[in-house]
Amino acid sequence: MNWTELDTWIVITGVLVCLACALPGAFLMLNRQSMLGDGISHAVLPGLAIAFLLTHSRDILPMVVGAVVAGVLTAVLTQAVQRFGQVESGAALGVVFCGLFATGLILIRVASDRVDLDADCVLYGSIETAVVDVARVPRVALISGGLFLVNALLTVLFYKELRLAAFDPALATTLGFNADAIRLGLTLVASVTTVLAFESVGSILVIAMLVVPAATASLLTSNLSRLLVTAMLFAAASAVLGHIGAITLPGFAGRLLGHPGLGATSSAAMMAVTAGILFLLVWVFSMWRDSHGRPQRSTPT
Amino acid sequence: MEKRLLPAANSLMNRARQFIPIGLLALLLGLLAWLLNRADSPIGHTHGPGETHANEVRVSRRSGKSITDTGIQWPSREKLWRTLTLADYNTRVVFAGVTALGAAGGLVGTFLLLRKRSLLSDTVSHCTLPGIALAFLIGESMGISGRSLPLLLFGATVTGVLGMMSVAAIRAKSRIKDDAALAIVLSVFFGLGIALLVVIQQLPTGNAAGLAHFIYGKAASMTAGDARLIFFASVAVALVCAALFKEFKLLCFDTDFARTQGWPTLALDLALMGLVVAVTVIGLQAVGLLLVVALLIVPAAAARFWSHRLGVTMLLASLIGAISGLVGVAASALFPKLPAGAVIVLSSVLCFSVSFFFGAKRGLLVRWLDQRRVAARVARQHLLRALYEWCESQALQHLGDPLQLLDRPVPIAELRQANHWNLARLTRLLRLGAAEGLIIWNPDSHACHLSAEGKLEARRVTRNHRLWETYLLHYADVAPQHIHHNADQIEHVIEPNIVNELEELLAGREGGALVPADPEKTTSANSDTPS
């Protein structure tokens, strides 16, 4: 294993992105909106494409604005289709994000001669090339750090409201917090997070990190604050282990299969896979504990 | 003789009616099969798919020189004609294949929608990616060409089923909720697939370009063999749907009942999920794994707006799916740069939007009109009752002839005051009532009175209202202060048979009066309220 400064930056960026996603992801999970992350990550495509077509540039600002509009549009349209069309929520989300994603694909293809935008880069991301930067601290690391700080701050500030809206929206509304507004705000934060994170790590990592660490933590604890901390621990662990896996595993497997000299694979993808493996381990552990151990409640690792 | 024959004929008719959608479907499929075989001419066969594709590329390159800044070129008239008349064998096969695929997706999707598991198809489609990549790797290392379609599709099926089972296991064996289970499996499997794809790209024989087709689809440039595979697999899926129609119907609408009747619900559920995997896998090539989910979700969701009957819904869903498939393939044959999958999805989303607003049964417009109609009826009945009650109060005060009760002209101002209505609303109501012939009212005059028809209706409405109030008071033990509001809501929807029952129930109490006296007033006058 050949660890360079680049690897350090990849891990730092990865950890920051994962932490930034895990916080809103936990509340999405509690609101039973986990698939919204998947929907948004597909649906931002037309927003990006339109932003490109209008500005002819890859500046971060118009891109973020376009994507956030598309992300919020996904959530609002899904709600509208569900409520006014009496369509089941899953199907409503499916219709909306499929439509938006297809629009985005066509727009990108139509504009492909003018704009250097590839659907692949949206979907897979490339943390490896993103950290190659002229500055001493790569731009993506700064963005991810800022994103994490903002999300952490918002979580702390609106902890009470978010918790109330997640567990008892009716009570929240009677107490004078508009549960719908809080959920919309959460959707907004999730869209911004998805968009800012996709640039560096791609949508797979975003979807995985929105849901998997929170779900893993929920197997271990029922206490919300502990759940958030545990989820962040799992997110960070997946990022570190994922990158190590990405640079070591292909070479290892390649030697076994007779293809020596295989390089690293996608770090973002391996981070998602690692999160899945951690989930599997914790799941097996929790099943074992339920059947053998004393009935314990909420013991975070 | 006749009596014995009639039920038999009736049940036969009922059974035949059940088979209408299936029969129509069979007709559609037969038409497609005919299309497929119509000119299986030697020219068509020698005119290979690669050749046509190369031609297209050359044409587009030549004509595209001048307008490089727009990605889409208009097709030549000759090409438009050839595509629309299905002149090329290859085009014909691809059209048939994708159309059948859309129809099969609509059929399976309807069941999936009714089971409320639409997003499961999203997860399954993402789960196929690692299977494709693994199949490629295994194929390469065993010396088979990693690009053989059956091998790749087999791999896709294996991980698709595995992903589906993971979702079921997480749902059953942990406290993770449905949506989170779907998202976890989706992202982890897709991540694994991408990780493997990146590795494949580094292999000397690699070149994952062929595999990229599975992500975005390549409907128009499919070979005849691939398209034929899609066609026959779709027909098989549709046939399974038709054969298990009754079983799936029961499963969707009442699983518990099916289980108590001894149906193997678990096996049926697995069969349905198997069909979902099948449609996903065969759709991968044409639409791509990111959008194949739309084949299963969108047509079914659109068809639901048009009918409450399952058979009709399924037929419509398969029709919408088939049309979307046709449009998508045609578009991508005419404009090679357009992604076919996206066009297929967009055309079905367009069908969905139209259905959403104009669907005959659940469409927004229809339901809005229904609501307006009900609101108008309620308002009209309130007006009639107000008129009746005013006349009644006058008759009580002035001891007028009860038979002439309803002939009095009612002053508008008093009507307004008694019911706290605003003038504009009252005027609108009066105009509506006059237009329907229930009220005789001259816009210039300050009074109106009931027509013969209006008298009957007013009497009926007031009677229903009071019957219900009396019932609530004496049988449901509702406090007298509350009965009026409650009866206000129920009087509009009360059915004649319930009115009869109420009459029988209350027969002893009101002495068979044509319209019982207002129980609210009589009880409040008596001051001792029954509890």
pLDDT at position A130: 65
Contacts of A122 in chain B (CB under 8 A): none
Q: Answer yes or no: is A301 within a domain.
A: no
Q: How far apart are CA A150 and CA A164, in angstroms?
A: 21
pLDDT at position B299: 95
Q: Answer yes or no: is A105 within a domain.
A: yes
Question: In 3D, which of B368, B367, B364, B346 has the Cα closest to residue B355?
Answer: B364
Provide the H-helix boundaries in chain A.
5-30, 34-55, 60-84, 89-111, 119-124, 127-130, 139-157, 159-167, 169-174, 179-220, 224-257, 267-291
The answer on pLDDT for B39 being more than 50 is no
Query: For residue A51, how many C-alpha atoms fall within 13 Å in the half-sphere facing its CB?
Result: 21
**Contact criterion met (CB < 8 Å) for B175 and A204:** no
Nearest-neighbour CA in chain A from B83: distance (Å): 21
The answer on pLDDT for B217 being more than 80 is no
Q: If you measure CA to CA, which chain B residue comes closest to A217?
A: B176
Q: Which helix (H) or strand (E) holds B411?
A: strand B410-411
For residues B49 and B343, the answer to whether their CB atoms sit within 8 Å is no
ipTM of the complex: 0.90
Q: Which of B64-73, B371-380, B483-492 has the lowest mean pLDDT?
A: B64-73
Contacts of A210 in chain B (CB under 8 A): 183
Model confidence at B149, in pLDDT bands (50, 70, 90)?
confident
> What is the percent of chain A where pLDDT is above 90?
32
Q: Answer yes or no: is A40 within a domain.
A: yes
Of A106, A207, A258, the CB nearest to B338: A106
Tokens of B18: 């059940």
pLDDT at position B512: 46
Over residues B246-270, the mean pLDDT reads 90
Of residues B143 and A11, the one with the higher pLDDT is A11
For residues B100 and B322, the answer to whether their CB atoms sit within 8 Å is yes
Contacts of A246 in chain B (CB under 8 A): 195
Burial of B220 (0-12, 13-18, 19+ CB in 10 A): buried
Q: Answer yes or no: is A299 within a domain.
A: no
Of A101, A211, A257, the CB nearest to B291: A101
Model confidence at B500, in pLDDT bands (50, 70, 90)?
confident
Q: If you measure CA to CA, which chain B residue comes closest to A220?
A: B175
Residues with Cβ < 8 Å from B530, sequence gap 6 or more? B473, B474, B523
Tokens of B48: 């290979």
pLDDT at position B48: 37
Tokens of B212: 């990229």
Over residues A206-228, the mean pLDDT reads 92
Query: Structural domain tally of chain A?
Result: 1
Of B72, B291, B304, the CB nearest to A102: B291
Q: How far apart are CA A221 and CA A164, in angstroms?
A: 18
Q: Which of A271-280, B52-61, B253-262, B410-419 has the highest mean pLDDT?
A: A271-280
User: What one-character DSSP code corresponds to residue B528?
Assistant: -
pLDDT at position B463: 83
Nearest-neighbour CA in chain B from A66: distance (Å): 20
Over residues B238-249, the mean pLDDT reads 91
Q: Answer yes or no: is A296 within a domain.
A: no
Question: In 3D, which of B169, B159, B124 has the Cα closest to residue B279?
Answer: B124
Q: Which of B6-20, B129-143, B437-451 has the lowest mean pLDDT?
A: B6-20
Residues with Cβ < 8 Å from B43, sequence gap 6 or more? B89
pLDDT at position B376: 87
Model confidence at B51, in pLDDT bands (50, 70, 90)?
very low
Over residues B512-520, the mean pLDDT reads 60
The residue segments making up the domain with residue A218 are 5-291
Nearest-neighbour CA in chain B from A199: distance (Å): 16
For residues A24 and A152, the answer to whether their CB atoms sit within 8 Å is no
Q: How far apart are CA B394 and CA B12, in angstroms?
A: 62
Q: Which domains does chain B have, with CATH numbers?
A: 17-38+75-362 (1.10.3470.10), 370-526 (1.10.10.10)
**Contact criterion met (CB < 8 Å) for A103 and B192:** no
Average pLDDT, chain B: 78
Over residues B378-402, the mean pLDDT reads 78
Of A86, A269, A279, the CB nearest to B191: A269
Nearest-neighbour CA in chain B from A57: distance (Å): 16
For residues A71 and A43, the answer to whether their CB atoms sit within 8 Å is yes
The answer on pLDDT for B158 being more than 90 is yes
Contacts of A101 in chain B (CB under 8 A): 290-291, 342, 345
The answer on pLDDT for B515 being more than 70 is no
Of A98, A109, A218, the CB nearest to B338: A109
Model confidence at A129, in pLDDT bands (50, 70, 90)?
low
Of residues A58 and B177, the one with the higher pLDDT is B177
Q: How far does CA B173 lie from the centroid of its chain?
A: 32
Residue B156 phi, psi (nearest 5): -60, -40
Which of B67, B122, B178, B179 should be substituted to probe chain A, the one whose Cβ sees the most A Cβ atoms within 10 Å? B179
Which of A115, A204, A262, A266 should be substituted to probe chain B, the one whose Cβ sees the most B Cβ atoms within 10 Å? A204
CA distances from A98 to A61, A217, A264, B289 (A): 25, 30, 32, 12
pLDDT at position B531: 38
Query: For residue B64, how many C-alpha atoms fall within 13 Å in the half-sphere facing its CB?
Result: 17
Return the CATH number at A155: 1.10.3470.10
For residues B245 and B112, the answer to whether their CB atoms sit within 8 Å is no
pLDDT tens, residue by residue, B191-209: 999 888 888 887 776 555 5
Q: What is the CA radius of gyration of chain B?
A: 34
Question: In 3D, which of A33, A28, A236 has the Cα closest to residue A148?
Answer: A236
For residues A206 and A28, the answer to whether their CB atoms sit within 8 Å is no
Of residues A111 and A277, the one with the higher pLDDT is A277
Of residues B313 and B487, the one with the higher pLDDT is B313
For residues A274 and A213, the answer to whether their CB atoms sit within 8 Å is no
Q: Answer yes or no: is A187 within a domain.
A: yes
Q: Answer yes or no: is A63 within a domain.
A: yes
Burial of B77 (0-12, 13-18, 19+ CB in 10 A): exposed
pLDDT at position A60: 72
Q: Answer yes or no: is A300 within a domain.
A: no
pLDDT tens, residue by residue, A161-207: 888 888 888 888 888 888 888 888 888 888 888 878 777 677 778 88
Task: Note the residue count of chain B.
Answer: 531
